[in-house]
Amino acid sequence: MNGWTRKMLRVDLSEGSTWIEDIDEEILQKYLGGRGLGAYLVYTEVPPETDPLGEDNILAFCNGAMTGVKIPTGGRSSLSTLSPLTGTIFDANTGSQFGVRLRWAGFDALVIKGISPTPVWLEITPEGAKIHPADELWGKEIPDTVAALKERGSATVSIGPAGENKVLFASIADEKGRSYGRGGVGAVMGAKNLKAIRATGKEKPGIADVDIYKFVNYEAGKMVTASPRTSEGLPEFGTSVLVNLMNWYGVLPSRNFQRGEYEFAEEISGERLKDEYLQKRGACWSCPIGCKRVTQVGDEKGEGPEYESIYALGSSLDIHDFDTIISANYLCNRIGMDTISCGATIACAMELEEKGKLDTELAFGRADLLLQTVEDIAYKRGLGAEIAEGSKRLSERYDMPEVAMQVKGLEFPAYDPRGMQGQGLLYATSNRGACHLRGNMLGPELLGAPKMLDRHASSGKAGILIVIQHTNTVIDSIGMCKFVNFAIGDDFFARLMTSITGVKYETQDLQLAGERIWNLERLYNLRAGFTEKDDNLPPRFLNEPLQEGGSAGHVVHLDEMLAEYYRFRGWSTDGIPSEKKLKALGLAELEMEQENA
């Protein structure tokens, strides 16, 4: 198998030890790498009762067979852990060059456990890992940390003050603003006293069949160029192009999802971002799409904001001062915080103030308080210390859990499910909580890709969602970007995997692998105490119809969709995978081993 290095680098920070070990080829074939390999490692090595911020939790940086290979979007990598925000198995994904350099150093995975007694940073080379003191780096923002460690032919990821202070939605980022963003992975890294990791590698991955690889790669590139979404829409405007479109459909959240449209959408739109703030386009490594935006406000330049950040730091807070929104996005990138959970939890606090539960000046529309609030969260000052725990804990503290827009502890992204029934089912069933990247129904429900579905219909959504969930799992595991799926599909992924690894993959093999990984994540969450009751949505979406806009009058009909979803998955009526299903996926023996461990 030329597509995988079959090497894993391990670090125990408590012992100050590092070593290299082989990865079983069968594990790579079954779980593909990336998210799949990470799920396997967390499932087999981190019991659900583990303290997410303790020494027994791991950070598993895992690459796919495509990571570091010159193909369209072959620059993605994954990070898996037990989330301190949600308590679920969790993975975050990014297009940072860190994964590429780790792969070029000869490693499919870097697994870190333990807690260093003092701040440290890791140096990764083809020879292994070295642990260096990081006392002088501790307290620095991410760009300053990365600059201090910058070296030709290397890539660095780091936490900022938010990770050091263990904010439960802290992220891990690089100098370009790309992040392992959600679920508090930065808090896990901070709890380990690990400030940064620098990977240096130059050896490109091998290709099993160069001729087939060249042909399939060429064909894939042509399709990416031919697709209007990947060759025009995303390059021209980035994800922020969705602001006006989602507002027209009535699914752009404002005031903490109390409304589904925003009267000031034009002022925070992708079109305005392009006309007034854009400096240049950018792209992740080996990406022909180039959806990144390099923007400027005043004297500061930075990346973004993405559509999700515009919602979270803008419309959801009833803030339409675009300069402030963009500056808050830059600040989150510098100090290392997930913009979605940060903004959504601030929105939760604002609604608590609106309902008289919280005595604070922080209220909807207070753009003048946003930057200070974001900074207070990172340093856990005043109300910021409470917001740093996420919306679920914040709302429960004030006896009003219904104002937390979250599933399984993870805050909602920027699509109101009352205008997208399938999206509501996605949020409820996602293994890591409310997440649009686990099987986004934006394509079939709003964009007509691969075909247009009635967005308000609830029947018949489970089947297509499950297929999309499996495809997204595969993309996360092989090391590519989900945006490429707008242009190429499972058949290209299978042919690329075959040409690069030398293992024969058919489309159905990848779908089966996606289903295997999804079910493994489900098994972990069940062991952690999650049940079908957690496959739910906040009552606002089930009981309160939108009053205005393109989705007025609608709620989410979750119960009927969820019953169909469980049936199609081969799960029991209470959401437990059947023995027959586990045997078919090759998971029965693994589950038994963990139950007996």
> Is 417 in contact with 455 (CB distance < 8 Å)?
no
Q: Helix, strand, or coil here: 247?
A: helix
Determine if the pTM surpasses 0.75: yes
CATH 2.60.40.420 fits 243-404, yes or no: no
> Is 150 in contact with 101 (CB distance < 8 Å)?
no
Label residue 594 by pLDDT band (50, 70, 90): confident
Contacts of 349 (CB under 8 A, 6+ apart): 358, 360, 362, 383, 386, 387, 394
Reported as a single tens digit per residue, the pLDDT across 544-576 is 999 999 999 999 999 999 999 999 999 999 999
Task: Return the domain boundaries, the chain.
Answer: 7-200, 243-404, 417-596
Contacts of 359 (CB under 8 A, 6+ apart): 353
Contacts of 335 (CB under 8 A, 6+ apart): 141, 142, 160, 161, 162, 374, 375, 378
Does residue 84 carry a pLDDT above 80? yes
For 7-200, CATH gives 3.60.9.10
How many angstroms separate the CA atoms of 87 and 94, rounded? 21
Does residue 595 carry a pLDDT above 80? no
How many angstroms separate the CA atoms of 38 and 56, rounded? 15
How many angstroms separate the CA atoms of 218 and 64, rounded? 20
Does residue 75 carry a pLDDT above 80? yes
Edge to edge, the sheet with strand 7-12 lists: 17-22, 7-12, 109-113, 59-63, 77-82, 89-94
How many angstroms separate the CA atoms of 536 and 397, rounded? 21
Percent of the chain residues past pLDDT 70, beyond the cut = 100
What is the reported pLDDT for 596?
74
Contacts of 357 (CB under 8 A, 6+ apart): 398, 399, 400
Reported as a single tens digit per residue, the pLDDT across 457-472 is 999 999 999 999 999 9
What is the reported pLDDT for 32?
97
What sign results for the dihedral spanned by CA atoms 245, 247, 250, 251? positive
Does residue 55 carry a pLDDT above 90? yes
Contacts of 354 (CB under 8 A, 6+ apart): 363, 364
- Structure tokens belonging to residue 258: 């109390």
Label residue 254 by pLDDT band (50, 70, 90): very high
How many angstroms separate the CA atoms of 308 and 299, rounded? 24
Could you tell me how far CA 513 lies from the centroid of its own chain?
A: 20
C-alpha distances (whole Å) from 493 to each of 222, 300, 471, 477 are 15, 39, 10, 11
What is the reported pLDDT for 117?
98
Reported as a single tens digit per residue, the pLDDT across 350-374 is 999 999 999 999 999 999 999 999 9
> Is 187 in contact with 167 (CB distance < 8 Å)?
yes
CB atoms within 10 A of CB 214: 12
What is the reported pLDDT for 175?
77
For range 43-50, the mean pLDDT: 97
What is the reported pLDDT for 177?
79
Label residue 174 by pLDDT band (50, 70, 90): confident
The average confidence (pLDDT) of the chain is: 96
C-alpha distances (whole Å) from 139 to each of 196, 201, 337, 379 are 12, 28, 15, 10
For range 236-241, the mean pLDDT: 91
Label residue 176 by pLDDT band (50, 70, 90): confident
Q: Which amino acid is at 127?
A: E
Reported as a single tens digit per residue, the pLDDT across 273-324 is 999 999 999 999 999 999 999 999 999 999 999 999 999 999 999 999 999 9
Equal fold, 7-200 vs 243-404: no
Q: Would you call the peptide bond into 52 cis, given omega within 30 degrees of 0 as the criterion?
A: no
Contacts of 439 (CB under 8 A, 6+ apart): 426, 430, 465, 466, 468, 469, 471, 472
What is the reported pLDDT for 347?
98
- Structure tokens belonging to residue 559: 């119960």
Reported as a single tens digit per residue, the pLDDT across 496-514 is 999 999 999 999 999 999 9
Length of the chain: 597
> Is 412 in contact with 69 (CB distance < 8 Å)?
no
Full DSSP string of 352-377: HHHTTSS-SS--TT-GGGHHHHHHHH
Percent of the chain residues past pLDDT 90, beyond the cut = 93
What is the reported pLDDT for 366?
98
Q: Helix, strand, or coil here: 170?
A: strand
Label residue 449 by pLDDT band (50, 70, 90): confident
How many angstroms separate the CA atoms of 563 and 79, rounded? 31
Contacts of 164 (CB under 8 A, 6+ apart): 138, 139, 190, 195
Q: Where are the alpha helices (DSSP H) in 159-306?
A: 161-164, 185-191, 210-226, 228, 234-237, 242-249, 270-272
For 417-596, CATH gives 1.10.599.10
How many angstroms separate the CA atoms of 519 and 469, rounded? 11
What is the reported pLDDT for 2?
82
Full DSSP string of 377-407: HHHT-THHHHHTT-HHHHHHHTT-GGG--EE
- Structure tokens belonging to residue 470: 């499996």
What is the reported pLDDT for 233?
85
Comparing 64 with 594, the larger pLDDT belongs to 64
